[in-house]
């Protein structure tokens, strides 16, 4: 299905001022419906859950409804598999803490050098408990990963593999389903950072067969909030992070110390309503899949428009795949300009009321490994489905002037 861009853009009030926003991997714009739901919750239901009086019962029902909607969005089997928290960074740290009791000295965790630090640092911190950290690296020239290398890294002591679904620098979509299969064949678990993937493609955690899957709503058209899916049996095994009387069976609340943020949970459910409406309605997975099929096709088109321009210049190095295939990359596009500082390019583009960014984007290990840390890292243009071909043309014109 094709996207109704007029409808799409009408749902994001911040687009009305004419600014071209291409910093979406840093944080997308927020849906009007999400903001309305947060406001309405705060003004009508801002009470503690769990009591017997009417308003508290309503608050409890809304929190469960929000979990159910988010479960539908990611393809979870039940709302109890949805853990909510402030950010992907915090949820990954919570998960690492909750797994500590099941790890022994000599157990192994495989991390990558191509993830955001959120899915590297919490696991490397477990070295202090005697956990052995192994690193899965990317090829410097092709920017591709080798699954056979992962096989060689794993052993009978490997307990976990931490990997990203899509790189927030390279834009590459990694074959998570196949990775999960290989990990499980070795008796280990897998945790996936999907922050750079979830805004662009439909997520089906059952089909992927992942153990844990984390992403942030503030990069998926919602508030500064996040979700961690976990297989129910896996969540039961984890240590609790809440009060001592929250037993192992109290899932997911034992992993939400201090309680989750009710109004942001209720607001985030508005993302699901929007995606459902974009897919024609129905409130089911088919509608979500239709919506993201349209999103993927549109994003591949506008991504190719920018990539074609970059490929035609002999002074630009595209950092990542040079094609726009929807099954291979998301429209997060990083590049360097020969002999130029990335900050200089970006600040020149700022003047045209176009938002792009420079730096390492908290994927510092990858940027350093690729030898791109000098000159303020890379220039990154990160598009989503509300961006238009006309906005890309504006960006190309601005880049031309900045690089002349």
User: What is the per-residue pLDDT for 268?
Assistant: 98
Residue 169, SS3 per DSSP? coil
Print burial letters for 364-381: b (CB count within 10 Å at least 16), e (below 16).
bbbbebbebeebbbbbbb
Domain range summary for the chain, segments of one domain joined by +: 5-28+285-403, 34-275
The pLDDT value recorded for residue 226 is 98
Residue 149 phi, psi dihedral angles, 5° rounding:
-65, -40
Architecture category of domain 34-275 in CATH: 3-Layer(aba) Sandwich (3.40)
pLDDT value at 1 more than 90: no
Q: In the prediction, which pLDDT does 348 show?
A: 97
Residue 6 has what pLDDT? 96
Q: Residue range 256-276: average pLDDT?
A: 97
Q: What percent of the chain has pLDDT over 90?
A: 99
Whole-number pLDDT of residue 79: 97
What was the pLDDT predicted at 2? 84
Mean pLDDT, rounded, of the chain: 97
Confidence of residue 236 (pLDDT cuts 50, 70, 90): very high
Q: In whole angstroms, how far apart are CA 198 and each of 133, 245, 258, 296, 383?
A: 27, 35, 27, 11, 13
pLDDT digits (tens, 9 = 90+) for 285-324: 999 999 999 999 999 999 999 999 999 999 999 999 999 9
pLDDT over 90 at 211, yes or no: yes
In 272-402, at which residue ranges do the beta strands (DSSP E only) sit? 316-319, 332-337, 354-355, 357-359, 378-382
The rounded distance, in Å, linking the Cα atoms of 221 and 29 is 6
CATH number of 5-28+285-403: 3.90.1150.10
* pLDDT, tens only, 147-176: 999 999 999 999 999 999 999 999 999 999
Per-residue three-class SS string for 115-163: CCHHHCHHHHHHHHHCCEEEEECCCCCCCCCCHHHHHHHCCCCEEEEEE
């Amino acid at each position: 299905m094709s996207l109704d861009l007029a409808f799409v853009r009408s749902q994001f009030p911040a687009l009305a001022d004419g600014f071209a926003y291409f910093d979406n991997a840093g944080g997308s714009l927020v849906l009007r419906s999400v903001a309305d739901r947060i406001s309405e919750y705060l003004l009508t239901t801002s009470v503690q859950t769990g009591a017997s009086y009417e308003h508290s019962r309503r608050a409890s029902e809304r929190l469960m409804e929000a979990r159910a909607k988010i479960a539908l969005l990611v393809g979870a089997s039940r709302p109890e598999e949805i853990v909510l928290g402030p950010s992907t960074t915090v949820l990954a740290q919570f998960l690492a803490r909750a797994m500590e009791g099941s790890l022994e000295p000599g157990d192994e965790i495989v991390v990558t050098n191509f993830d955001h630090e959120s899915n590297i640092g919490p696991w490397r911190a477990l070295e202090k408990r005697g956990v052995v950290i192994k690193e899965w690296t990317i090829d410097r020239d092709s920017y591709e990963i080798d699954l056979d290398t992962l096989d060689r890294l794993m052993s009978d002591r490997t307990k976990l593999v931490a990997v990203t679904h899509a790189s927030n620098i390279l834009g590459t979509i990694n074959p998570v389903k196949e990775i999960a299969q290989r990990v499980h064949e070795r008796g280990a678990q897998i945790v996936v950072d999907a922050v750079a993937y979830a805004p662009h493609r439909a997520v089906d955690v059952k089909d992927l067969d992942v153990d844990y899957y984390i992403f942030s709503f503030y990069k998926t058209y919602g508030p500064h909030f996040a979700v961690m899916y976990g297989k129910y049996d896996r969540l039961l095994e984890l240590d609790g992070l809440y009060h001592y009387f929250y037993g192992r069976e109290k899932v997911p609340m034992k992993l939400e110390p201090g309680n989750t943020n009710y109004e942001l949970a209720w607001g985030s459910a508005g993302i699901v309503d929007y995606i459902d409406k974009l897919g024609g309605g129905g409130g089911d997975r088919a509608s979500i899949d239709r919506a993201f099929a349209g999103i993927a096709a549109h994003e591949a088109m506008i991504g190719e428009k920018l990539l074609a321009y970059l490929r035609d210049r002999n002074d630009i190095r595209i950092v990542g795949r040079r094609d726009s295939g929807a099954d291979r990359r998301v429209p997060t596009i990083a590049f360097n300009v020969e002999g130029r500082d990335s900050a200089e390019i970006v600040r020149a583009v700022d003047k045209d009321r176009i938002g792009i960014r420079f730096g390492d984007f908290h994927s510092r290990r990858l940027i350093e490994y690729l030898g791109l840390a000098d000159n303020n890292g890379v220039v990154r243009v990160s598009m989503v489905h509300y961006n238009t071909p006309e906005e890309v043309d504006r960006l190309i014109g601005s880049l031309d002037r900045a690089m002349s």
